[in-house]
Chain A
């Protein structure tokens, strides 16, 4: 073995180790992010009650801004950190929740509703966001707790169930679910881009130019 081979091996090992460290850290942080997402979304009535108690409009506005920024930043972080669930090699080589990518899809769907709708004022949109977040939490926490974290202590049929829920020990299903999730992500992404192009980045679609005569008739 030459010095160059040894150097390349050390660099390669270091790179793999760093990548593993980054992915491991994300896996460890994601449950906390999910809890924060759920907590902040469900705590909306508490914040609204607090806002009503403010005597200054400035304080109320600041509290609302901080709440909205925290809540939405957590959802964006959840999507960004879940990106590794879409990498086939990472899925097959690590013990990850098998439906973690579907959980990321639900987060992106919530962001799509926020882009196209108004969950802070429209009850239907808020409910839809809540259902999606609940579904996403199930997709994330069930395989995470019963699969990834239960794997070492489970035995018998429970061990089989646990293995099924872990991507590294159920690679066929993990890859299929990953491709389904990718397709769903792609569809949501296309809808978001089409909406952005149609509205030009405005909350509503561009209104058609109406002539003066038409305007009066209306």
Chain B
């Protein structure tokens, strides 16, 4: 199962990047739709695919936060950091409107590219290049099982980062709910004294 997940993660990362960077093409096609209905279906499909793939990639990347697997399996040593950057890219989506705010889109792009680089480089040149003699030194340093001390340090640091970011998102979500849901509640009626309510 772990091997299958690890083998499938490059596909998810690649799809995430392609869908994120393909936004101009999607918008160009959207503008040519004659009907609002078609445009909405097109945009909805794109959003579901783009954000869904990102979210699944993050979910699958959680295998990098299991110390036993990190120590015993051949995983990219910077995989947990890649997951942290992916989470940050998702948080940018949550806090700012990346589809309206160019700055937010750029920030999200930079975070995704850093995350993808941290994932691809050790995967291609260490995990999938371990049998090449000229890559032996690199493979030893960047594979979690052969450099488990550094791998576990990176994992714990990334895990702390994930917990901090997740905590911040939790607090933000609570504040957001308090602000928006209180606004929609009907104003409270002043309660009558009990004696008057009883008809006294």
What residues make up the interface of A, taking CB atoms closer than 8 Å to B? 14-16, 18-19, 22-23, 57-58, 60-62, 64-65, 68-69, 76, 79-81, 83, 86-90, 92-93, 111, 114-116, 118, 120-121, 175, 182, 189, 192-193, 195-197, 199-203, 206
Contact = CB atoms under 8 A, between A and B. Distances in A.
Contact of A201 (B23, B33, B130): B23
B38 A175 contact: no
10 contacts: A23-B7, A58-B37, A61-B34, A68-B29, A83-B14, A86-B124, A89-B130, A115-B25, A120-B32, A196-B105
Contacts of B135: 88
Contacts of A88: 124, 128-129, 131-132, 135
A196 B2 contact: no
B155 to A, nearest CB: 20
Contacts of B24: 115-116, 195-196, 199, 201-203
Interface stretch (B56-64, B80-88, B106-114, B186-194): B106-114
A88 B33 CA distance: 44
A103 to B, nearest CB: 15
A58 B14 contact: no
A200 B103 contact: yes
Contacts of A199: 24
Contacts of B4: 18-19, 22
B22 A115 contact: yes
B77 to A, nearest CB: 17
